[in-house]
Structure 1
Amino acid sequence: MLRGITDNAIIPNYEAQATAITNFAASSGSLAAYCDAIGTDNEASTLGTVQNEWKTVMATIQQTESHAVGPVAANDDALRNRIHSFANHDLQTCSLDQAVIKQSDADFDLSTRSSNQRGFGAIEYLLFDTALNSQCSSNYENATTWNAL
């Protein structure tokens, strides 16, 4: 029975997730197309496309949540948290806003940011939040920089 579950559910779900994430993040994928279109006449249409693909990818991620076992759960869910950290950490939108501001700094390294500032939760915030104002308090020096973007 366990072999059947593994062969017919767990492995196919992880394979579908890997394929969906790879396609989404590819240099020819919808995320890159949207980023390239920001500030152009194609921005709105590519935003709709990338939002729809994000939903498709998120569906594959959610399918694997019921069986987060093996390498994805090793090291205190390290791999799982790189993909989607909602179960262990709340998304830190102020810190994510700061990362967006700092991303053009020469010494910025996304891999050093906490998992609650990366992954598909962060992508969701950046793609679907329509307010577009900094989530940082007005006391934070770059809140006005963000709001001016």
Structure 2
Amino acid sequence: EIQAMLDSLGSRVFLPTVQGFAASAETLEAATAAYASSGTDRDRDVARASWAAAMDVWQELEVMQVGPAAPATAFGGQALRDEINSWPTTSRCRVDQETVAQDYTDAAMFRSELVNVRGLDAMEYLLFHEAPTNACAATSPINQDGTWDALGEAEIRARRAAYAHTLAQLVREQADTLLAAWRPDGGDFAGALTRADGAPFPTATIALNAVSDALFYVDLSSKDKKLSTMLELVESPDAHHSREHLIANLRAFRRVFLGDTPDTEALGFDDLLVSLGEDALVARMTANTTAALAAVAMIPGTLDEARVSDPAAVDAARAAITALTDDLKGEFLTALRLQVPAEAGGDTD
């Protein structure tokens, strides 16, 4: 039954979501190319909308970091995630320094730059930050030697647009790489996940544990980082889409747990648990996922604003996710005889 569930998740959830992201990345590349060429507000707004659409799909994939997107230390991991979205390591100052240096004009060479100046997270800053100021300290060379101020507002906008297009090109390349790794006519990771009879998964239980590990993103990142009060952990400071990102994370959790959307009959973790007599746990986790989605949706305005204007709503969202992840870290793992991921080993919150 485990292999049947893994097969269903691969074909109904993981692969279609990766395909959706690859398509949205292609649209984003075209939109940023148009904006870099024209510089108009209209094309900028289209590029922003395309970024939001691509990021919405990617935020689902954040909770599906199994195999190619996972760190290189994981089973089948190729560390593609950080190539596409490296939050929270993003460095706005470094992005500004690259805006001055213009190394981004050679996309092939820029591919070797650190991930904190690339990806969807850096692209957000370039597309949505309108002020002609930079995020570096006064002691930074671009401020001390006057090279930033010498650019002028129009040139800063033009360079940011060109830089965003380069990043969109690189994200599209990585999206294509990720898709090729999953496709049956490529790396066939979906097939390897189902077979679990050798590399990268020696057994079906190890493959199942890898999928379970991916769900812990909701605990370790959605709850502990994105809903943190630490300002440096604000996920979407320029587009103000932090709440939407959380909703996408929880939506993905529900899809993996149930095997697909709630109105679809498909094999998921819920079916494995029911087969073990854990009907009550399934009912509780399903209800708590719905409650967490509702609590996040109830946060008024943007998450950044609500931290100040309505901290109780933010606290309620965090409590709702905690109710879900308490079961994830406890009875869920116990019932399925799975291991907690290494990075969550000491987490008791």
Assess same fold via TM > 0.5: yes
Q: Render the CA deviation track for 1:57-83: whole Å, top value 9, x for unaligned.
A: 111111111111111114256311010
| Residue number in structure 1 paired with 2:81 | 80
Decide whether aligned partners of structure 1 residues 142 and 107 sit closer, same or farther in structure 2, where only a CA change above 3 A counts. farther
1:125, CA displacement in angstroms? 0.5
**For 1:123, what is the secondary structure of its paired residue?**
helix
| Residue number in structure 1 paired with 2:68 | 71
Please report the TM-score for the alignment, with normalisation by the length of structure 1: 0.84
- Which has the higher Rg, Structure 1 or Structure 2? 2
1:107-146 matches, cutoff 5 A: 109-143=109-143, 144-146=146-148
| Residue number in structure 2 paired with 1:11 | 15
Give me the whole-angstrom Cα distance separating, in 1, the residues matched to 2:105 and 2:92: 22
Query: What RMSD, in angstroms, separates the aligned Cα atoms of the two structures?
Result: 2.2
User: What residue identity is the alignment partner of 1:65?
Assistant: E
Give me the whole-angstrom Cα distance separating, in 2, the residues matched to 1:19 and 1:75: 25
Whose RCO is larger (CA < 8 A, sep 6+)?
2
**For 1:75, what is the secondary structure of its paired residue?**
coil
Aligned length: 140
Please report the TM-score for the alignment, with normalisation by the length of structure 2: 0.38
1:105, CA displacement in angstroms? 8.9
Structure 2 segments unaligned to the other structure (5+ residues): 152-349
Decide whether aligned partners of structure 1 residues 15 and 105 sit closer, same or farther in structure 2, where only a CA change above 3 A counts. closer
User: What residue identity is the alignment partner of 2:129?
Assistant: D
> Which stretches of structure 1, 4 residues or more, deviate above 3 A after TM superposition?
104-109
1:130, CA displacement in angstroms? 2.3
Structure 1 segments unaligned to the other structure (5+ residues): none
- The percent identity for this pair of structures is 29
2:57 is the alignment partner of 1:53 = no
